[in-house]
Amino acid sequence: MADTKAACGSYEVTKGDVDNDNIILNPNFDNGIENWSGRGCNILVRDSMGDGKVVPQIGKYFASATNRTQNTNGIQQDVTGRVQRKLMYEATAVVRLFGSNVTPSDVRATLYVQTLNGKDQYIGIANLQASDKDWVQLQGNFLINGTVSKAVIYIEGPPPSTDLLVNSLVVKHAEKPSPAPAPDFSNVAYGVNIVQNSDLYDDLNNWYALGNCNMAVANGSPRIVPPMAKESLGLQEPLSGKYIAVTNRTQSWMGPAQTITDKINLHVTYQVSGWVRIGSAKKGAQIINMAIGVDAQWINGGQIQVSDERWYEVGGMFRVEQLPSKVMVYVQGPAAGVDLMVAGLQIFPVDRKERFKHLKNMTDKNIILNPNFDNGLDNWSGRGCNVQVHDTIGDGKVLPQNGKYFASTTNRTQTWNGIQQDVTNRIQRKLLYTVTAVVRLFGSSVAPSDVCATLYVKDSNGKEQYIAVAKLQASDKDWVQIQGKFLLSGTISKAVIFIEGPPPSADILLNSLVVKHAEKTPPAPAPDFSNVVYGVNVLQNDDLTDGLNSWNTLGNCTLTIADGSPLYVPTMARESLDVHEPLDGKCILVTNRSQTWMGPQQDITNKISPYVTYQVSSWVRIGSAKNGPQVINVTINVDSQWINGGQVQVSDARWYEIGSSFRVEQQPSKVMVSVQGPAAGVDLMVAGLQVFPVDRKARFKHLKHQTDKVRKRDVVLKFSGSTGDSLSGASVRVRQTHNSFPIGTCINRSNIDNEDYVSFFVKNFNWAVFGNELKWYWTEPQQGVINYTDADELLDLCNKNNILVRGHCIFWEVQNAVQSWVQALPSTDLMKAVQNRINGLLNRYKGKFQHYDVNNEMLHGSFYQDRLGKDIRATMFKTASQLDPSPTLFVNDYSIEDGHDAHACADAYTQHILGLQEQGAPVGGIGIQGHISNPVGPVVSDTLDKLGVLGLPIWFTELDVVSDNEFVRADDLEVMLRELFAHPAVEGIMLWGFWEMSMWRQNAHLVNAEWDLNEAGKRFLKLKKQWLSHARGQVDDKGDFNFRGYHGSYTVEVDTTTGKKLTQNFTVDKGNSPLVLNISLGS
C-alpha cells in the first residue's frame, strides 16, 4: 500500500508512522537522557538503584527525577512536531516511586499544549497510584482538537519528597479495538417480574430485613400498577393491595430486601417500579430509594421525595455489565424512626425495542378513531348537545371538503357545547402532538366566530385542566383548517379532545380531526451575513447635499431644506458606529401637514436583507409646542405592514433623539421609511436620519471589559500552616461553582409535573417568578373563592431547591387584566376588596418573597387610579411595606428599553417613579419587563443609564427575545444578557420562560417541546459557563495566591510541597476592595 503523507510542523508523518510508531524518541533511555529533560528538577538514567533492589522492568535502563520541589516536577519530552490534531493517541508509561518513607501516591501523565494564540492548556491523560514496591503501568488516551505551536508530555504527581522513576513511555496512535459482539437476548423473558412473592400472598417468604428493623404484611395499598411500569408492560393484573410495613427503623438504610442474583442477565436493562409511602410526615419530606447491591457496589434503582402520607410511585432502571456474584434489591431512605411501606415492587427486563414500534406507531398514526366519520358516530359524542353525521346539508350547498361525511352539532346552549372524543389511552405524556381540524359554521344569520380545539384532562389526583390547543375564526361560507399543538406534562386518568367556541345559535360542522405525534423539523441554518456592510446608512442623500433628491412626501405636505440642526451624530448611533463624520446642520422641514401621518419618506426596498438588524437614528423637532407634547415616530412600511422604527415625545422646540431598531425575517417586495406623528398643522423637522446594519457582536469586547469591572473582584487567598511549614510553591486550583448574580425564570404550576422541566429549571436558574399563579385573577377568580394551592406548590418547589422568588404581582393596573367581578364593584366595595387582597396575600406569604411587583404596568393602565383616586397607587406601596417590610417593592412595566413607546420611555418612567416617591411610596426597585425584539446594545444601555440616576436597583423581570430563526434568537439573547450583565445598575435578570410549550410569545424558547436544546438555549448555557471564574497556579513567597473572579461560590484545592491536601469552600461577595481570605492548612 502506498503511504499517505501529511505535514505536521517540520516533521513529516506517514500513515505508517501514525499507525505503528511510538512518537516518543529514546523511549527506554537506551541513549541516556537524549530528547528528555527535567521539568523543574534533575533527571538521571540508571540501570539499578537501592543496592540493586530496583531494576528496570523493561530493557536495561530507567530514569529517575530527583530534587523535586513541586508535585508538578517530573520528566518530560517535547513532542511538538510529532503529534497530529484529531487523532486519538494512547500513552503507556511504566513508573515507580523511590525514597525513604515513601507512601503510595498518584502519578500522572499530562500533556501541555500551547495554541497558536499563545493560550496554555494542560490535558490530563492518565492517573494511577504508584508505590516504591513495584513498577506499575499508567495508561490513558488523548486527542488534540486545535492546531498547536508547542506540545510537551510529562510524568508528574507524587509529593516532592519522593523520586519519580520512569522505565519507558510509549505514545502511539490508538488502535481501533474490535467491538464486542451484540449480547444474546433471545432467552430473556421480557416483562416478567424477577422479584419473588412481590404480591405478598405468601406472607414475607423470600423477603428479609436489612438491618435490625421489623417487617409485617398489611393491607390498603394501591391495586393499580404504577403508570411508568404500565406503559412498559401493557395490560396487567391488578395488584394485591398488600404491602410490607417496616417499623422500628433505627438507621436510614434499613428496609425490606431480597436476593435476586440468579435472575440477573448481563447487559439486559431492568425497569424498577413500586409504590412507597411513609408512616408520618412529621419529620418533613423524606427520600425513598430502590437500591441494587451488586457485589458491594450500590446502584440507584430509582428514588422519590415524599412529603405527606400518600402513596408515591418510584420508577427507575439499572443494568449490570459484568457477571456478579451477588445481587440484592432493597428499599431504604427515610430518616430513622420513620415507618416505611412498600407495595407492588417489580423488577423486570424491559423490551425497549418493542417500545420503539409503539412510539413509531404513535408517531405515524392519527390517535383519533373514525376521524372522517366513515363509521358514523362511532367513538364520537356530543358535549352538551346533539351530533349527527351528514353527507350534505343546506340543500346540497354544504359538502365535505375531505372524504364523504362530516358531523354537525345541534341544540347547542353554551359556547363550550360541541363534539368530542375520549383519547385517554392513546396519548402519552411528554410527547408533542399536532392537531388539525377542518371546521365550518352553519345556521341562519351566522356571524363569523372563533372555533376552538380544546383538550380536557384529569390528572391522577382528580384535578381538572382545560388546555387550549387551537383557535381560528370560521364562518358559514367555507371550510377552514384550525391547527395547534399540545403536550401533557403529568400523568393523567382521563383525556378528551373537543371542538367548541361559537355562539350557541351556530351549529359547528366538523369534517375531519387529526391528532398525531409532531414531526421534528430541522432548524433553519444560521443566516449568512458575510456580505453585509455594517455601519453604512441605507438611506440615499441623508445629508441633503443633493437637495431633496431620493426623498418624497407621504401625503400632501411640503418638504424644504433648512439649516440649524445639530452637527453631531445622536448618542445611540455614535456608540454603534466606530467612525462617523459630523452632520452638516441641514434638516428636512415639513410644512402644510393636514394629517398626523404626513412627513418625508424614502424607498429602501433594495437595501434591506432578511434577519439583519438595522439601527435607526435621527434628530427630530417640531415647529411649535403650542399644541402640547407631540409624538414623533420613524415608521418602516414593509409590504403594507407597519413596523415601529422608534418614537419620542417632544414637548418644546428643542431637538430630540430617536433611537431604535427593526428587522424583517422574510424577503420583502417593498420597504419604505418615513417620519410622522405630530398633530395636523404642526411643522416637523428631521435631521441626520440613518438606517444602518449594526454589528452587534462588535460591542461584546467593550462589554466584556465592563463586565470584568462590574461583576468581578480581586481575591487574595492567604495560606498559613504549622510553624516551619514552607507553603511557597504549593499547587492551587480555584473553581467557581455558582455565580451569585440573579438569573431566573418564569415558571408555571402546570409544568412542574414534567421532570425534564423541573430538572432544567433547578440546574440553570437561581431565582423564579410565577407566570400567573400569584395574580389576583388567578387566586380569586370569583369573589370570595380564594385558592393559593398553585402558588404554594410552586413556592415549595423553589424553597426545596434554594431558589429565591419574586412576587408577581399584587395588583395589575390594566383594566383587561382585572377580573370582571372586581370591575363591577362600586367604589366603596372595590376599596374593601383591594384591602382584602393585599392583606390576605402579604400576611399569608410574609417573608417568603424577595420582591413584589406592587401594581403592574401603571404606565399602560389606570383602572385603580380612575376608580379609587390618584393616591391609591402610593397607598398600595405603603400598605405592602407595612404588612411585610422585608421584600423590595418594585414598579414594573414594558416597552421601556427599546425606544418604541414614547409614553413608556426612560424619561416617562423616571417621572412616574419620582411622582410615586413624592407621594410617599417606598419604591425600592425598577422592573423593566424586557419583551424585546431585535435588540441593539446602545439603545438598551441608553435607557439603563437614564434610569440608573435614580439610584434604585434595576431588574429585567420578563425578558424574552423572538425570532423564527434560532440562531438569530440566540444572537438577540446574547446581546441582551451581555448588555445587562455589564451594566452596573442592573441587579438581576428574569427570563419569561424557557420551554416551547410555556412561552408568552412564540419563537422565544430556549428548549424545544421534547427537550432538545436549541441554539438560543446553547448560547444561554455557554454564557453562564463563561461567567464562572477558574484559576490555577502556585502560592507565592508571601504565602498568597491572587486572582480576580466573578462574585459567587468557589472551591479551592491545595496540594503542598510536603504532600498535604486541602479542599475548602469560600464566597466572593460584591466589593470594591480586594477580598482577603485566610486559609489554614493546619498542623
Q: List pLDDT tens digits, range 758-815.
A: 999 999 999 999 999 999 999 999 999 999 999 999 999 999 999 999 999 999 999 9
Helices (H), 765-844: 776-779, 789-800, 820-823, 827-844
The fold of 5-173 is Jelly Rolls (2.60.120)
Q: Which superfamily is assigned to 742-1026 in CATH? A: Glycosidases (3.20.20.80)
The Cβ-side half-sphere exposure at 433, using a 13 Å CA radius, reads 30
The torsion angles phi and psi of 828, rounded to 5 degrees, stand at -65, -45
Give the C-alpha separation, 924 to 919, whole Å.
Answer: 14
Q: All 3 cell numbers of residue 371? A: 376521524
| pLDDT value of position 970 | 97
| pLDDT value of position 829 | 97
| pLDDT value of position 542 | 93
Q: Which superfamily is assigned to 208-354 in CATH? A: Galactose-binding domain-like (2.60.120.260)
Q: In angstroms, what CA-CA distances link 484 with 434, 459, 480?
A: 6, 22, 13
Look at strands 925-928 and 888-893 and give their pairing. parallel
Sheet containing strand 327-332, edge to edge, reads 208-210, 255-259, 327-332, 286-294, 297-306
Q: Is the dihedral of CA 553, 558, 560, 566 positive or negative?
A: negative
- Could you tell me where in the chain the CATH 2.60.120.260 domains are found? 5-173, 208-354, 364-517, 552-694
104 contact partners, CB below 8 Å, separation of at least 6: 97, 129, 130, 131
CATH architecture of 709-738+1029-1080: Sandwich (2.60)
131 contact partners, CB below 8 Å, separation of at least 6: 96, 97, 102, 103, 104, 105
Q: Are 473 and 449 in contact (CB under 8 A)?
A: yes
Give the C-alpha separation, 451 to 222, whole Å.
Answer: 41
Residues annotated catalytic, as ranges: 857, 958
DSSP reduced 3-state for 925: strand
Q: Are 621 and 655 in contact (CB under 8 A)?
A: yes
1 contact partners, CB below 8 Å, separation of at least 6: none
| pLDDT value of position 665 | 93
Helices (H), 535-583: 571-576
- The pLDDT tens digits for 557-602 are 999 999 999 999 998 999 888 767 899 999 999 999 999 999 999 9
Q: All 3 cell numbers of residue 1? A: 500500500
Give the C-alpha separation, 472 to 756, whole Å.
Answer: 31
CB atoms within 10 A of CB 945: 14
CB atoms within 10 A of CB 63: 24
Q: 571, 566, 559: which is closest to 585 by C-alpha?
A: 566
Q: Are 596 and 680 in contact (CB under 8 A)?
A: yes
Q: Which superfamily is assigned to 552-694 in CATH? A: Galactose-binding domain-like (2.60.120.260)
DSSP reduced 3-state for 975: helix
| pLDDT value of position 362 | 53
| pLDDT value of position 101 | 87
Give the C-alpha separation, 158 to 71, whole Å.
Answer: 5
Please name the amino acid found at residue 337.
G
| pLDDT value of position 4 | 28
Q: Which residues of the chain have pLDDT under 50?
A: 1-19, 724
Give the C-alpha separation, 655 to 778, whole Å.
Answer: 46
Q: 436, 370, 435: which is closest to 405 by C-alpha?
A: 370
The torsion angles phi and psi of 365, rounded to 5 degrees, stand at -100, 140
CATH class of 364-517: mainly beta
Q: Are 539 and 675 in contact (CB under 8 A)?
A: no
Cβ-count burial 1015-1030 (b if 16+ within 10 Å, e if not):
bbbebbeebeeebbbe
* Dihedral angle, C-alpha 142, 144, 149, 154, nearest 10 °: -10
Q: Is the dihedral of CA 265, 266, 271, 274 positive or negative?
A: positive
DSSP reduced 3-state for 540: coil
Give the C-alpha separation, 247 to 639, whole Å.
Answer: 75
Look at strands 120-130 and 214-219 and give their pairing. unpaired
Q: In angstroms, what CA-CA distances link 558 with 554, 681, 685, 772?
A: 10, 12, 12, 51
Give the C-alpha separation, 438 to 483, whole Å.
Answer: 9
Look at strands 120-130 and 136-142 and give their pairing. unpaired
Give the C-alpha separation, 783 to 778, whole Å.
Answer: 11
- Could you tell me where in the chain the CATH 3.20.20.80 domains are found? 742-1026
Q: What global pTM score does this model have?
A: 0.73
Q: Are 206 and 196 in contact (CB under 8 A)?
A: yes
